[in-house]
A and B are shown apart, each in its own frame.
Chain A
């Protein structure tokens, strides 16, 4: 009796499973740098929600370490599984080129998420960047300007003196302070370097407070620096006189937003990258979208997205601002 029900259930399962497989069924896999990283979990969340909206199959697999070649066996396994799209945040700009070529020779789309693989662009289909990084400088200045009435002494707390992205953003800010009338009354008094080390960043921030008693605000476009700066103004009880803004992660900054030490900070939304890559991947597999510079497509919530030179995509035109109104929505 029992056996019979089991057999019947089995037969039923088989008959229902067969047509489902016959439909156009897309498999997208996302391979983050390593397992257990909340930043990448947030990207996974975007993929999952897009999968629910579009009805594709989504899985994520991750290596234990972010070592340069640790993702290769996972890619090979996905090729064998016959997925349609491999989205990946690669651990190396070029060590994966050979296996990418192998995947693409079998018709699989390779989408790089959260960065690009400079010099190896020919080995992938598209690179999804979180934000147009050229807007970071102006967005940070505006965020601070609004809080201090676009007036007074400001300082920058950066990472290391030779961090390329930091220096580009600092140069952007310096140019804007010179040329843009809105910032005419804001004076950049110094640039301090905390080396992305919590202790050194704290010491540098304390020195800024001591050396510049009229300081109105500090911009720290690095996650370690902005958290250290917020901690220092909180401890010193000067968060009203000296406003802190910067690029930080919601989990690190949540406490300072909740207790009012920091009014707002910025970054981008990794969730949006997954959401966008899901929509784009399905459209590419269906043949509705060709990855070519100039081509555009629509993504709900994000609007019109365009392939730029080298098939690079900016998920957001400007960074996301996090404040007390929205920080609860983010967990990374």
Chain B
């Protein structure tokens, strides 16, 4: 999953993903030494299913960030589409209908973000901070401070379903990572995304439909957020307007930890994937060792700063 081919014949080009991988290995070692309860693959996989929703969103967000944009409304889109899922299910008693409605609502929310960013030419940071509040607000108006539940038993508890010892959400994540990794690194579309992020005007003059690509990325992020919302509805058996509050920052953290360059043009799905598992191992390891949340947050914050400094330095060296 290379992003910048043709940087000379160096055998081992230093890439930010390597730093993420090194941190991942370090986190494994530290977590295992912190607590005797950690070294249990079944447990780590079981715990990882809490992170999969954020992980799926981070995959989509990687494309958006590589293209030089950001989407902070992802968690709000997750919540609103989950609430729409719940409302439609309550009326229709049909999971299929509710799922379709949720996915379509995610598509529209993503398109809405895209239209505001592309045609009004507003910075995506500002637009999606706005729509983050808007979508969350609509979810609250729709559902109020209540929960919707009563989903059928076969639907509830996707994280309990396993293939061998691997929970279904984890399998979904790896499948999604593989597909999105191939798209970003092996297709013409992926190359366009990198070009747009690296140099939008050059991309435009090269005949790339910059606006169309960006719109597609925002729309896809909306759909993926909705998918994550449905997955969360299954995991919790409940939907509420305040689901995943603050998770947008977790998704951004995963993308940054994976070495994707915040100003666009650089980054990889491999990095995001490893970063998600770094987060899983760190948080699970610290939680099972009963390390208090203040220290957990401090460690995560430090790591993020380290990752940003590291990837910046590496990009600077590789002659950006």
Contacts and interface: CB of A to CB of B under 8 A. Distances in A.
B278 interface: no
Nearest to B241: A68
A35 B50 contact: no
Contact of B246 (A35, A65, A77, A93): A65
A69 B241 CA distance: 12
A69 B242 CA distance: 9
A65 B43 CA distance: 24
Contacts of B157: 98
Interface stretch (A55-63, A220-228, A264-272): A55-63
Interface residues of B, number: 31
B235 A98 contact: yes
Contact of B147 (A65, A82, A92): A92
Pick from A68, A77, A102 the residue with the most CB of B within 10 Å: A77
A73 interface: yes
B274 interface: no
Interface in B34-49: 35, 37, 40, 43, 46-47
Interface in A245-262: none
Contacts of B284: 73, 77
B97 interface: no
B2 interface: no
Contacts of B237: 94, 97-98
B242 A68 contact: yes
Interface string B238-280: 1010111110000000000000000000000000000000000
B287 A97 contact: no
A61 to B, nearest CB: 6
Contacts of B40: 80
B236 interface: yes
A102 B283 CA distance: 20
A94 B50 contact: no
B26 interface: no
A74 interface: yes
Contacts of B244: 69
B296 to A, nearest CB: 8
Contacts of A62: 292-293
Nearest to B289: A77
A93 B276 CA distance: 29
Contacts of A77: 37, 47, 284, 287-288, 290
A95 B283 contact: no
Given A73-B287, A97-B238, A68 B243 contact: yes
A67 B297 CA distance: 16
A92 B241 CA distance: 12
Contact of B50 (A61, A67, A72, A102): A72
Contacts of B240: 68, 92, 95
Contacts of B149: 94
A59 B287 contact: no
Contacts of A67: 242, 245-246
Contacts of B238: 92, 94-95, 97
User: In the complex, which range does the number of interface residues on chain A fall in?
Assistant: 20 to 34
Interface in A49-107: 59, 61-65, 67-69, 72-74, 76-77, 80-82, 92-95, 97-98, 102
Interface in B53-94: none
A68 B237 CA distance: 13
A63 B245 CA distance: 13
B147 A95 contact: yes
A124 B35 CA distance: 28
Nearest to B51: A73
A100 B109 CA distance: 34
A93 B160 CA distance: 21
B147 A63 contact: no
Nearest to B40: A80
B43 A80 contact: yes
Contact of B287 (A61, A65, A69, A102): A61
A94 B287 contact: no
Contacts of B245: 65, 67-68
B37 A76 contact: no
Given A73-B284, A80-B40, A98-B157, A61 B290 contact: yes
Contacts of A94: 147, 149, 237-238
18 contacts: A35-B294, A59-B290, A61-B293, A62-B293, A68-B243, A68-B245, A74-B287, A76-B47, A76-B50, A76-B287, A77-B284, A92-B147, A92-B238, A92-B240, A94-B238, A95-B236, A97-B237, A98-B236
Given A35-B292, A81-B35, A95-B147, 11 more contacts: A64-B294, A65-B245, A68-B245, A73-B283, A74-B287, A77-B37, A80-B40, A94-B147, A95-B238, A97-B237, A98-B235
Please give me the 8 A-B residue pairs with the lowest Cβ-Cβ distance, nearest first.
A77-B287, A77-B288, A67-B245, A64-B293, A80-B43, A94-B238, A95-B238, A94-B147
